[in-house]
Structure 1
Amino acid sequence: MEKHERLRWVGLVFISIAVSLIIVDSTIVNVAIPAIVDDLGITSTEVQWVQESYTLVFAALLLVFGSLADRFGRRRMLLIGVVVFAGSSVLASLASDGGALILARLAQGVGGAMILPTTLSIINATFRGRERGIAFAVWGSTIGGMAAVGPLLGGWLTTAFSWRWAFGINIPLGVLIIIGVALTVAETRSDRTERIDGVGALLSVVTMGSLVFGLIEGRTYGWWGVEQRPEIGDWTWPFDISPIPFAFALALVGLVAFIAWGVHRERAGRSTLLALRLFSITSFRNGNIAAAVVSLGEFGIILALPLWLQFVLGFDALQTGLLLLSLAGGSFLASGIAGATSGRIAPVWIVRIGLLAEIVGVAGVGLAIGPDASWVPLIPLLFVYGVGVGLATAQLTGVVLADVPVADSGAASGTQSTSRQLGAALGVAILGTVLFTSTAGILAASLDDQGVPAAQRDQVVSSVVDSAGAAISGLAANPETADAADAAREAFSDGTRYAAWTAAGFLALGLLATVSLGGAAARPSEREESGREAEDPR
C-alpha cells in the first residue's frame, strides 16, 4: 500500500489514459465514418447505430459496473474493462459489414462501461481535499490531450492506411494501461457485500434501449403512422401505428418502474443500482441534470461535422482530423487552465464560462456552414468551442461528486457518467435525426422546384440520406445529375447548420441548469471532508 501511496500520481496518469482510450476511440470513429460508409456501404441509419450501439450499451451498463467495481475491486474492474475494450477493437477492425461493426461496437460499449466509472471511483477513493480537485483536473486535461491526438491520428491512419487501423490503435494503448495500472494503482473496494440489483439493471437497459431506438428509427418507421414495416425473419409488423410510439411508451414505463423499484429496495434496506438517496445531495442532483443536458449538446454535433466536411466540402479524413484538432487543442488548453485555477475560482463558475464559450463556438459554426464554406473561420470557432468543452468537463465532474461519501463513489461515478452518456446518446439520436430529416425535406423541396419527377426525386433523396451524404460525389460526377448534386450539398449544409443550432439550444438549457448549482460553488480548498466514510483499500 505504501508503494501505491507514493506512486498514486503516476497511477493517475495511467487512470487518465484508460478513460482517454474511450475518448480516442470516439474521435477516431467520427473521423473514420465517411471512409467506413464508402468501404462497407452502410446506410445513414447504420451510421447512427455505429455510434449509438456503443453509446447505448455504455450508458445502460455504467450503473451496473460502477456498483460491481465498488464490491469486487475497482482496479480489477478497470483492468477487465481494458481487456474487453481492446479485444472488441480487434473485432471492429476485422468487420466485413455494417452489422458486424455494430456488434463489435456493442462489445466495446461493455468494456467502456467498465472503464469510465471505475476511473472516477478510484480518483474519488484515492485523493482528498484540494488534491481531489487537482486530480480531477489532471484527469480532464489528459482527456483533452488525447482528444487532440484522436482526430489527427484517426485521419492519418484512415488516409494513409485504412479505417480498420483506427480501431487497431487501441491494442498498444490497452497493453500500456494494463501494465501501468497493475504497477501503480492500489486496489480499493467498498465494505458492502449486497447482491447487485439485477431487476434494476434489466429495467435500465430496457428504458435506454427503447428510448434511443425510438429516436433513431422514427424517421425510418414513422413517428406515428407506419411508413415502413419492420421485419424480423418471416415476421412483419402488423399494425398501422408505427412501432415508435410503443418504444417511447415502453421507455416511459421502464423509467417509472426503475424508480419505483429502486425506492422499494431502499425502503427495504437493500442495495439499489442507482443510489437514489444520493439525489438528496443538492450538488449531486442538480449537477447530474446539468451534465445530461450539456452532453446532449456537446457530443451530438460531432456526428454531423465530419460527414459535412468530407462529403460536401471534399475534405479527406486527414484534413478533417487537422481541422478538428483546433477543437481538441482548445479543450486541452482549457482543461489545463481549469486545473491551474483549482481552489481559486468556484468550479461552478468555470463550468458556466465553459458552457458560454461552447454556445458561442457551436452557434458560430452553424453560421459559417454552407456548401462553399471556407475552412478558415471554422478553426477559431471550433477552438472556442473546444475551450468551452475543456472548462466545463474538467470541473463539472468535481462539482457532481464533491459531496458524495467515498463508500458510494462507484455508484455516484456511475450515475454521473450515466447522465453524461444518456445525454450523449440522446444528442447523437436527436441531432442525427435533425440532420437527416432536414436534409431530406430541404432536398425534396429543392428538387421539386427544379421540376424533377417525383420518382426520380425520391430516388435522389433516398440515395443522399441513406448514404449519409456519400452519394453526393456520384451525383456530381454525372452531368445529368449535377444540379441535383448542388441541391444535395445545399440541403446537407442546411441540415448540418440546423443540427449545430439545435446543439447550441441544448447547451443554453445546460447553462440555465447550472443556476441551481449555487450550493456547489464553494471553493474546493474550503470544502469540509467531514461525513465521508472511511475506506478499507485492499
Structure 2
Amino acid sequence: MLSRFHAQLLILTISLGVFASVMSTSMLVIAFPDIVRDFGITETTLQWRNLLFYSLFAVGLPFFGILADRFGARKQFLLGMALFCLAAMMSGLVQNWTGWLFFQSLQAVADSMIVAAQSPLIRAAFPQEKIGWAFGWFGAVLSAAMLTGPALGGLVIEHLHWTAIFWVLGAFGLLALMLAAAFLPQMMPGAEAAACRERKIPWLGLTSMLALVLCGSVLLLHGFDVALGLLTAVALATLIWNERRAGGAALFPREMARNTVFLTAAVRVFLLFLGVNAIGLYAPTYLRSVQGLGADTVGLILLTQALVALLAAGSAGKLADRWPYRSLGVGIGVSVISSLLFWFADAVSFVPYFFLIFFLIGLGSRLTMPAQNKIALLAVPPAETGSYMGVFQMLQFVTGAFAATLFAGMSFQMLIGVVVFCQVGAMLTIFWKPSRPLKRPTP
C-alpha cells in the first residue's frame, strides 16, 4: 500500500510531464505576434504550426497508447520527456521558420508519447480505490498549468525574449524526467506484457489516420479542393480497410466495438468536451464584445474556473472513488446549470453573475472528469489500457478543432443551446444500463 506522501509524489511525477506540455501551449499563444514578426511570416502561415502540432498530437495518442502497452509506459514516458526537452530547447535556438516548425512538430510527438503513457502509469501505480483520487490531483496539476502558463509567458516575453519560453519548458521537462527516472514504478511483468509485445505496430493505420486528419483540416480551413478531397477519401478508405482486415495491425482496439461501457464513456466524453471547448473558445469574445467587459475583468472571470478546479481536485477525486456515477451525474448537472445561466446572460449586465457562471463551470468540470476517467479506465482490459485510453484521450482533444469549425458563425445563444443539448445527452448516457456496473474486467 502506498503511503500518502509516496502517492502524492507519484501523481506529481506523472502530472509534471503533462504540466509542461499544457503550459507550453498557454505560454506560446501570447508569443504568436512576436513569432510572426521575427520569422517574417503571416498569421495564416503561423496556423500551419497549430495544424501540424494538434494533428500529430491527436493522431499519436492511440498509436503511442499501443506502444505503451507493447514496450512499457515507463520507458515511453522517459523517452517522451527526453524528446520533449530536446524539441523545446531546439525550438528556442533555431533561427528560421522551417526549422522551428520541425521542432514544434517533434514536440507534438513528444507530448503525445507523454500523455498516452499517463493512464497506464496511473493504473499500474494506484489501487482501484485510489484511481479517482489520482485523476483528481492530475486535473489539479493541469489547472495549475492553465493558471501559471499565460502569466509566466507574459513575464518571459516582457523581460527576456519569446524564445526563452522554451528554456523554461525545457527546465520543467528536465525536472519531470529526473523525477520519473527516480520514482516511476516498473510496468506490467509476466504474461500480460508478453501478450502485448506480440501485437503488431499499426504503421499503416497511423499514416492513413494522420493523412485523413491533415487533409480534412485543410479542407475545413481553406475550402474544397479536388486533389485534397481525393486524398482525404483515399486516406479514409485505407484506414477503414486496415482496421477491418483480419490479422492486420489495427490502430484501434479490436474488441472496442463490443465494450459498451467504454463506448458509452467515449461518447460521453466527446459530448462533454465539445461543450467545454465551445465555451472556452467563444465565451471570452462574447464577454468582451457583447457584454463590454474589459480584458482584465474577463481574465479574472476565466481565472475563477481554473481556481475552483484546482481547489476542488482532492475532494472530487475522493467522490469519484466512492460514487463514480453519482459524482459524474452531479458534475454534469452543475455544468447544465452554468450553461442555462449563460443562456439568459443577454438580459444581465452584472459582473458577479459571470463569476458565478465560471465558478459553476469549474466545479462541474472538476466533479465530472475524475469519475469519467475512472469509469473508462476500469472498463478496459489492463493489458490494453494504453490502447483504449489513447482513443479516449484523442476524442477529448479533437473536440477543440471540431468546436472551432462547428460553432463558427453561430450566435452565442445558439451555441449555448447546442452545448446544453450535448450536456443533456451526456447525462442520459449515465442511465443507459450497460454503463452502470463499475468493476475491473477479467483480462
TM-score (norm 2): 0.82
The corresponding residue for 1:156 is 155
Equivalent in the alignment of 1:296? 274
Match of 1:413 among 386, 389, 393: 389
Alpha-carbon distance in 2 for matches of 1:352, 1:255: 36
Asked whether 1:209 is paired with 2:214, we answer yes
- CA positional deviation for 1:358: 4.2
The 5 A counterparts of 1:74-153 are 74-94=73-93, 101-153=100-152
The alpha-carbon distance between structure 1 residues 50 and 381, as it changes in their structure 2 partners (threshold 3 A), is farther
Distance in 2 of aligned mates of 1:308 and 1:154: 24
Q: Deviations over 1:480-512 (max 9, x none)?
A: xxxxxxxxxxxxxxx8xx468537624632540
Shift of 1:353: 3.8
Superposed CA deviations along residues 166-212 of structure 1, whole A, max 9, x for unmatched, are: 33321121111111111111221522223302111112112211222
Which residue type is aligned with residue 214 of structure 1?
L
Map of 2:327 onto structure 1:
350
What is the SS of the residue equivalent to 2:321? Answer: coil
* Alpha carbons of structure 1 residues 161 and 308: separation in structure 2 relative to 1, 3 Å: farther
1:134–1:339 contact (8 Å) kept in structure 2? yes
Please give the alpha-carbon distance, in whole angstroms, between the structure 1 residues aligned to 2:343 and 2:181.
45
Equivalent-residue separation in structure 2 for 1:333 and 1:255 (angstroms): 43
Distance 1:9 1:116 in 2: 19
TM-aligned CA distance change 1:382 to 1:25, over 3 Å: farther
Distance 1:501 1:41 in 2: 39
Within a 5 Å distance, the mapping from 1:355-366 to structure 2 comes to 355-358=332-335, 361=338
Unpaired segments ≥5 residues, structure 1: 219-241, 439-494, 533-538
| Alignment match, 1:274 | 252
SS of the counterpart of 1:276?
Answer: coil
**CA shift in 2, pair 1:528/1:361, >3 Å:** closer
Give 1:205's aligned amino acid.
L
Cα deviation for residue 378 of structure 1 reads 4.4
Contact kept in structure 2, 1:59 and 1:113, CA below 8 Å = yes
Structure 2 residue 358 is the aligned partner of structure 1 residue 382: yes
Match of 2:428 in 1: 515
Give the aligned partner of residue 395 of structure 1.
371
State the distance in 2 between where 1:124 and 1:57 align.
Answer: 25
CA distance in 1, matches of 2:102, 2:147: 27
Structure 1 letter corresponding to 2:302? L
Q: CA deviation at 1:117?
A: 1.3
Aligned twin of 1:469: none
Separation in 2, partners of 1:147, 1:14: 18
For the 8 Å contact 2:378–2:439, the answer to whether it is kept is: no
Q: Which residue of 2 aligns with 1:263?
A: 244
Contact 1:4 1:186 in 2 (8 A): no
Identity %: 22
3-state SS, counterpart of residue 505 of structure 1: helix
Structure 1 Cα separation of the partners of residues 329 and 50 of structure 2: 28
What is the CA distance between 1:283 and its match in structure 2?
1.6
Contact residue 45 and residue 216 of structure 1 kept, 8 A: no
Measured in 1, the distance between the counterparts of 2:421 and 2:4 equals 42
Q: Distance in 2 between matches of 1:96 and 1:337?
A: 47
Go from structure 1 to structure 2 and tell me whether the alpha carbon gap of 1:406 and 1:334 turns closer, same or farther (over 3 Å shift). Answer: same
Q: Which residue of 2 aligns with 1:335?
A: 313
Cα 1:351/1:52, change in 2 over 3 Å: farther
How many angstroms apart in 2 are the aligned matches of 1:292 and 1:82? 28
Residue 423 of structure 1 corresponds to: 399
Cα 1:528/1:368, change in 2 over 3 Å: closer
Distance in 1 of aligned mates of 2:128 and 2:75: 25
User: 2 CA distance for matches of 1:206 and 1:105?
Assistant: 18
Does the CA-based 8 Å contact 1:294-1:507 persist in structure 2? no
CA contact (8 A) 1:291 1:510 kept: no
- Judged with a 3 Å threshold, the aligned counterparts in structure 2 of structure 1 residues 85 and 320 are, in CA distance, closer, same or farther, namely farther
Q: Deviations over 1:241-285 (max 9, x none)?
A: x41x664564455345423322323xx3x5522103123111211
SS, match of residue 273 in structure 1: coil
Distance change in 2, residues 1:530/1:296 (3 Å): closer
Please give the alpha-carbon distance, in whole angstroms, between the structure 1 residues aligned to 2:7 and 2:163.
35
| Post-superposition offset of 1:331 | 2.1
Question: Is the counterpart of residue 193 in structure 1 residue 236 in structure 2?
Answer: no
Distance in 2 between residues matched to 1:95 and 1:364, nearest whole Å: 47
Whole-angstrom CA distance in 2 between matches of 1:386 and 1:349: 18
2:309/2:365 contact within 8 Å kept:
yes
What is the letter of the counterpart of residue 212 of structure 1?
S
- For the 8 Å contact 1:16–1:142, the answer to whether it is kept is yes
**C-alpha distance in structure 2 between counterparts of 1:73 and 1:6, whole Å:** 25
Alignment check: 8 A CA contact 2:122 2:131 kept = yes
The Cα shift of 1:71 comes to 1.4
Per the alignment, in what secondary structure is the counterpart of residue 343 of structure 1? helix
Over 3 Å counting, the alpha-carbon distance change for 1:171 and 1:425 in structure 2 is same
* Residue equivalent to 1:45: 44
What SS does structure 2 have at the residue aligned with 1:169?
helix
1:29 is aligned to 2:28? yes
Cα distance in 2 between the residues matched to 1:156 and 1:322:
17
Instruction: Indicate the structure (1 or 2) with the bigger Cα radius of gyration.
Output: 1
Amino acid at match of 1:297: G
Secondary structure of the structure 2 residue equivalent to 1:342: helix
Give distance in 1, aligned partners of 2:316 and 2:418.
24
CA pair 203-511 structure 1, distance change in 2 beyond 3 A: farther
Mark the CA change 1:391 to 1:91 in structure 2 (over 3 Å): closer, same or farther: farther
2:210 counterpart letter in structure 1: V
Q: Distance in 2 between matches of 1:159 and 1:368?
A: 35
Partners of 2:144 and 2:268 in 1: CA distance: 24
Letter in 1 for 2:415: T
Q: In the TM superposition, what whole-angstrom CA distance separates every residue of 1:304-345 from its partner, at most 9, and x where no partner exists?
A: 5677889998977x8876553222112223433321313333
Shift of the 93–300 alpha-carbon distance from structure 1 to 2, 3 Å rule, reads: farther
Q: Is the 8 A contact 2:275 2:422 kept in 1?
A: no
1:390 maps to a residue whose letter is R
Letter in 2 for 1:280: R
| Match of residue 261 from structure 2 | 283
Q: CA deviation at 1:522?
A: 4.7
